[in-house]
Homo-oligomer: A and B are copies of this chain.
Amino acid sequence: MDINGAVSAFGALSQKTRLDVFRLLIAAGPEGMSAGDIGETLGVRQNTMSANLSVLLQAGLVRNTREGRTVRYFADLGGTSALLTFLMSDCCGGHPELCSQVIESITCRKS
Contact = CB atoms under 8 A, between A and B. Distances in A.
| Shortest beta-carbon contacts, A-B, top 5 | A29-B93, A96-B108, A81-B105, A11-B14, A10-B14
11 contacts: A7-B13, A13-B87, A23-B86, A30-B92, A81-B105, A90-B109, A90-B111, A96-B110, A102-B106, A103-B106, A103-B107
A22 B87 contact: yes
Given A99-B77, A106-B102, A108-B103, A93 B23 contact: no
Interface in A52-111: 77-78, 80-82, 84-111
A51 interface: no
Interface of A: 3-4, 6-8, 10-11, 13-16, 19-20, 22-23, 26-31, 77-78, 80-82, 84-111
Copies of this protein in the assembly total 2
